[in-house]
Amino acid sequence: HSPLTDKARRLNTYETLLEMQKDGLIGAVGVCNYGVGALDEIITAGLPPPAINQIELSPFNQHTDIAAWAQKYGMVLSCASWSKLSKATGPVDGWNAVGKIADQKKMTKAQVLVRW
């Protein structure tokens, strides 16, 4: 679920997943919560990029660096946004872009975030 191990273990696990894919046991190899550093380790090791990386994406946590990496290497981002509504009463109230969209669409800020 997370890359919070050392480099050798991450790469070993990734290589094991690639073997499982080669053996027809899994369809695609993906990772979860990998940042650019951990993703670069895979490429530097001469391995193919993951098919998918599940990360939290929201207006408050856009990970543009990971999105750029994904576009460069053809990796899909699976977007999980667990906590965006919990922030709707704090920073969102003052966030002009969300407020503008909410006004334009005649929605509440919370509704805009759910659509995100």
Give CA–CA dist 113/86, Å, rounded: 10
Residue 28, both tokens: 């695609």
Please report how the helices 7-22 and 36-44 are oriented relative to each other, as an axis angle in degrees rounded to 10: 60
| DSSP track, 66-116 | HHHHHHHHTPEEEEE-TTTGGGTTTGGGG-HHHHHHHHHHT--HHHHHHH-
pTM of model > 0.85: no
Give CA–CA dist 45/7, Å, rounded: 11
pLDDT at 30: 96
Segment 16-32 mean pLDDT: 97
CB 55 within 8 A of CB 32: yes
- 90 confidence band (pLDDT: 50, 70, 90): low
Tell me the pLDDT tens digit for each residue of 38-57.
999 999 999 999 999 999 87
